[in-house]
Amino acid sequence: MSFSLILPMMAFALAASISPGPVNLVCLSSGTRHPIATGLIFVSGATLGFILLFIAIGLGLYSVLSLLPGLNSALKWLGIAFLLYLSFQLFKDNGQLTQEQDSNRPGFMTGAIMQWLNPKAWLASASGIGAYTNNDLQHILLFAAIYLPVCWLSLSCWVYAGAYLRRFMQTPGTLIIINRSLAILLALSTLYLLID
């Protein structure tokens, strides 16, 4: 295995991980609402959830779903419902920065589950595996090992960006505007699932 394969895998992983999507928006929101450590717990769940999805798709999960159209449709509607639920939670937030918001914070399992319901994650996995691995298990595992730190660092950047923005949000009204904007963007991301 040469750098001629590893470097393109790294570039693909970076582009797929750092570009805006539902998980990235939740990372940004978490950074504006919660301590960085809390956001990084979500990031860790999202990263490991994605890696498991990536390996599962590499082992043939995508082919199984194409054979079971009912399961594919159920996954699609479950993803829409979950993203709309997260959008609603973000939209109704009152903008108060308090310590009692542990029940509303996105945690490790939310991050892991969200990746399995995220169309961007499925597309990145399927297209990356198709482009770089030739369905060879060794290449799939190498790509997953490359994706692990790249995905974690990319999602962490969104949490840190949110924490940076928090410094400029001294009033609940400003945070409400940011949260509702992110909630609307997150809800709009479900349109991709509806038109697919």
H helical segments located in 92-171: 108-116, 119-132, 137-166
Nearest to 185 by CA among 110, 107, 91: 91
User: How many whole angstroms separate alpha carbon 59 and alpha carbon 136?
Assistant: 9
- pTM of the entire predicted model: 0.79
Q: Could you tell me the pLDDT band of residue 122, with boundaries at 50, 70 and 90? A: confident
pLDDT number for residue 101 = 52
Cβ–Cβ < 8 Å for 32, 166: yes
pLDDT tens by residue, 172-183: 777 778 778 877
pLDDT number for residue 108 = 95
Residue 157: CB partners within 8 Å, gap ≥ 6? 18
Cβ–Cβ < 8 Å for 147, 54: yes
